[in-house]
Amino acid sequence: MTTILTYPFKNLPTASKWALRFSIRPLSCSSQLRAAPAVQTKTKKTLAKPNIRNVVVVDGVRTPFLLSGTSYKDLMPHDLARAALTGLLHQTSVPKEVVDYIIFGTVIQEVKTSNVAREAALGAGFSDKTPAHTVTMACISANQAMTTGVGLIASGQCDVIVAGGVELMSDVPIRHSRKMRKLMLDLNKAKSMGQRLSLISKFRFNFLAPELPAVSEFSTSETMGHSADRLAAAFAVSRLEQDEYALRSHSLAKKAQDEGLLSDVVPFKVPGKDTVTKDNGIRPSSLEQMAKLKPAFIKPYGTVTAANSSFLTDGASAILIMAEEKALAMGYKPKAYLRDFMYVSQDPKDQLLLGPTYATPKVLEKAGLTMNDIDAFEFHEAFSGQILANFKAMDSDWFAENYMGRKTKVGLPPLEKFNNWGGSLSLGHPFGATGCRLVMAAANRLQKEGGQYGLVAACAAGGQGHAMIVEAYPK
């Protein structure tokens, strides 16, 4: 029940220059254990910058995130993306023609709809005059879609942007082998029967072996789960700690779902099936049950299991972002500002999943904030082991000195402010769509729990990472 009372003297809609602002934290707050001062003021009153347009989140939605192979299994990615777009239109009632640009993130591309943003937008009834493009940056693809939009608005190119992401892991493109493809392409070009026959005679049965989409890092040939297990071992994260954290994620998600806090979820009537209304991967179990599972990657003694990893998920998300003055002029009450953001990258082998550790201090420094200023942390949970390894890295002076070029440690995010409504471990992780979910969770939490600043952070394949500050829109 943390509440922050703000008393703006003057609340100018266009510039939001706040003359004075208090943040009062009553002693009866839930974080009693932390000896927080009765009155805690933020380092900075707002992150607005002179001469740069403020970018706001009007609202965002997502389809329910489902375990892959369940209700969405017969769909195509653009179907899911379209569902998110229509949901957004419904939720915000934004007139389609004011949308200047649409950007979607996705990871495993369906080759038929490689610009999935465009296909989904056309299907959702957006104006065919609204351009759309698709971006990819592994698990931070949707983050990239949003920040691309932020850039377009801040630079004055656009006023209204729809950003989103989609992933359909129920169906992935499985290709013929290179040899088979070559043979088929050559056959296409062959002119005479003789040429065709001579080509066909080159066929061997092993040509038929299919090529699956890579589940491993291209540069290191290591799967992400394997890397996560090594990362957990490097930071001496035990199996029990990982299971406990996963259990926390599932329990919090269940609670949030039951209490109706996951308000960004919009129902989706799946063609030929029932309407899907909620995420289906939330399954709080017991530590005893979880302890029975065998390691999934490093066998037989690893610590990463199916229960403490995020699962393969189908889902899509979309978010409406605008220039602040545009939103106000259209009569919207925005939910949050999108503020400073940061992309980082590091060694894709041994530090594949440490993106949040690297990105967090950088984005805070850029914004001029400290860890104490953050009221809502929303980190992407790829694996329990990854989150806990990031915690240990952030809490280590040795790591900060030797690998981050910092004098002191980053500091640990307080757990009571961390992923309070569940995370990717429990809600699911459709690679291309998670970014928008994180931002909406942060924005909605700030609205619901009170607080001014939220921090979104995520790791991604390729050893990359992202962090962004979400600032609550003053009520």
Binding interface with other proteins (CB under 8 A): 218-221, 226, 229-231, 233-236, 298, 301, 347, 349-351, 389, 392-393, 396, 398-399, 402-403
Query: Which of 222/325 has CB closer to other proteins?
Result: 222
**The one-letter amino acid at 465:** G
CB of 382 to other proteins, least distance (A): 16
How does 355-386 read in b/e, with b if 16+ C-beta sit within 10 Å? bbbbbbbbbbeebebebebbbbbbbbbbbbbb
CB of 301 to other proteins, least distance (A): 5
Half-sphere exposure of 252 (CA within 13 A, CB side): 20
Query: Which of 113/464 has CB closer to other proteins?
Result: 464
Query: Is 158 an active-site residue?
Result: no
19 burial via Cβ count (<10 Å: 0-12, 13-18, 19+): exposed
Please name every residue paired with 323 in a beta bridge, in sequence order, or none if there are none. Answer: 55
CB of 449 to other proteins, least distance (A): 32
The bridge status of strand 268-269 relative to strand 66-67 is unpaired
* Angstrom distance (rounded) from CA 106 to CA 361: 27
* Angstrom distance (rounded) from CA 95 to CA 332: 12
Query: Is 139 an active-site residue?
Result: yes
The string of DSSP letters for 348-380 reads TTTSTT-HHHHHHHHHHHHHT--GGGEEEEEE-
Query: Which of 130/357 has CB closer to other proteins?
Result: 357
CB of 234 to other proteins, least distance (A): 3
Query: Which of 320/382 has CB closer to other proteins?
Result: 382
Query: How many residues are recorded in the chain?
Result: 475
**Alpha-carbon dihedral angle through residues 281, 284, 287, 288, given to the nearest 10 degrees:** -90
Query: Which of 307/400 has CB closer to other proteins?
Result: 400
Query: Which of 399/473 has CB closer to other proteins?
Result: 399
| Active-site hit among 29, 139, 158, 436 | 139
Query: Which of 139/232 has CB closer to other proteins?
Result: 232
2 burial via Cβ count (<10 Å: 0-12, 13-18, 19+): middle
Residues whose CB falls within 8 Å of the CB of residue 332, separated by 6 or more in sequence, listed in order? 58, 92, 322
Query: Could you say which DSSP state residue 403 is in?
Result: H
Ramachandran angles phi, psi of 250, nearest 5°? -65, -40
∠ Cα 61 66 70 (to 5°): 140
CB of 278 to other proteins, least distance (A): 38
Catalytic residues: 139, 459
